């Protein structure tokens, strides 16, 4: 059983993959985003409306529309990761992975023996199509994509070691929490923050660890192309909240303009 994780295959082939955040937890919104061209969605079970169980059920909507989903789990516990994998998540983003020790534990929780200690229930879980994927346990590690979020300045010194851990495929830079760890919350463009994130980029690239992030990392003007050129293979851009809010504000502003009404200054769009 190979080739089921198309996202991992695309990244390994060197493609720059763009994705959208999925926060609102509606299967209809998931389908709409995929049919609108966002074929990779990050189902956010950390900050989004859907908890872990609801988020895992949303996999069906994304995959049914022809898309690929990354599940951002709410925590790095063994029970959470085991449940996500058994329910069919093949690509997982884990928040707040501050140390190589944490990364090693996460990999262990996600890999079957002898590579790790993932609990076995293959014949009765969705991940195997309810027992209809012979050989799943032997090849599950090949299909699994684990993104460890680098969100603290102290993690910079750990990236090289993290890169050497079997099962950890990507360092995903979370810039606002990273900036906050340096006392620069919401100031991702601060020179000190930019310098430290660039250290992460260099270390990951030098040690064969894929890179992911959001648009605007280390400066709000950093484009998709600039991030690609800096080594990022996975770039998450808009979120459904921001897309809806932006369209709603634009439509209301147009209505007010046509009626000659004054409008106040719009609040900034929701963003990471």
The whole-number pLDDT of residue 23 equals: 96
Residues in the chain predicted with pLDDT less than 70, given as ranges, are 1-3, 216-221, 263-272
The whole-number pLDDT of residue 126 equals: 95
Q: Residue 136 has which token pair?
A: 């799943």
Global pTM reads 0.93
The whole-number pLDDT of residue 125 equals: 96
The whole-number pLDDT of residue 136 equals: 95
Active-site residue, 190 included: no
The whole-number pLDDT of residue 103 equals: 98
Residue 178: beta bridge partners? none
Active-site residue, from 47, 98, 141, 190: 47
DSSP H stretches of helix in the chain: 6-12, 27-35, 52-64, 78-86, 100-110, 136-143, 159-163, 175-180, 191-206, 224-229, 240-258
Chain segment 112-131, per-residue pLDDT in tens: 999 999 999 999 999 999 99
């Amino acid at each position: 059983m190979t080739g089921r994780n198309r996202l991992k295959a695309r990244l390994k082939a060197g493609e720059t993959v763009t994705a959208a955040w999925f926060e609102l937890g509606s299967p209809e919104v998931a389908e709409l985003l995929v049919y609108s061209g966002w074929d990779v969605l990050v189902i956010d079970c950390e900050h989004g409306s859907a908890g872990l169980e609801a988020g895992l059920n949303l996999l069906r909507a994304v995959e049914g529309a022809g898309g690929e989903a990354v599940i951002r789990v709410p925590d790095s516990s063994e029970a959470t990761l085991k449940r996500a994998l058994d329910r069919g998540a093949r690509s997982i983003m884990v928040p707040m992975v501050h140390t190589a020790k944490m990364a090693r534990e996460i990999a262990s929780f996600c890999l079957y023996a002898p590579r790790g200690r993932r609990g076995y229930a293959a014949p009765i879980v969705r991940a195997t199509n309810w027992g209809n994927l012979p050989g799943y346990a032997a090849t599950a590690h090949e299909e699994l994509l684990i993104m460890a979020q680098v969100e603290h300045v102290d993690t910079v010194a750990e990236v090289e070691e993290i890169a050497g851990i079997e099962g950890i495929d990507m360092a995903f830079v979370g810039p606002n929490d990273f900036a906050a760890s340096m006392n620069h919350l919401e100031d991702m463009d601060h020179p000190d923050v930019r310098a430290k994130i660039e250290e992460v980029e260099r270390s990951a690239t030098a040690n064969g660890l894929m890179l992911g992030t959001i648009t605007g990392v280390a400066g709000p003007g950093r484009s998709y192309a600039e991030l690609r050129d800096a080594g990022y293979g996975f770039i998450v851009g808009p979120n459904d909240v921001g897309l809806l809010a932006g369209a709603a504000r634009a439509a209301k502003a147009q209505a007010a303009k046509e009626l000659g009404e004054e409008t106040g200054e719009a609040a900034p769009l929701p963003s990471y």
